[in-house]
Amino acid sequence: QVQLVESGGGSVQPGGSLKLSCAASGFTFDWYSIGWFRQAPGKEREGISCISFSDGVTYYVNDIKGRFTTSRDKAKNTVYLQIDSLKPEDTAVYFCAAQTYGCAGWRETTEYDFWGRGTQVSVSS
């Protein structure tokens, strides 16, 4: 059974940090690139990062560059999203998703085969 399970979300104050995890099972993890998306209340789901299966190259939207870091641990079939200097506008449900390409069209939800259910990140003082 294919599964992506996100964890690590929570409620933090502005300026804080969180490390989200995306644990994969039921498919050959090494063959899939993993994207991170987020969906704020009342807004569409947006792609924010991707890590390529082939070479580990990472991609980020400009809004989060320098604050978000995507990494992977192949031995644990897990991808991480380190979020630093959190802002209230980072409040959203964060999702991970898997695609068989090297982050092609990585910001588009339609490019992904599998999705997790998300983890909530809330930033407020």
pLDDT digit string (tens) for 44-66? Answer: 999 999 999 888 999 999 988 89
pLDDT at 106: 96
Nearest 5 degrees, angle CA 101-CA 69-CA 86?
A: 130
Three-state SS for 28? coil
Q: How confident is the model at residue 30 (pLDDT cuts 50, 70, 90)?
A: confident
pLDDT at 57: 94
- Alpha-carbon Rg for the chain in angstroms: 13
User: Following CA atoms 34, 38, 17, 57 in sequence, which dihedral angle do they give, to the nearest 10 degrees?
Assistant: 30
Q: pLDDT tens digits, residue range 81-124? A: 999 999 999 999 999 999 998 898 999 999 999 999 999 999 99
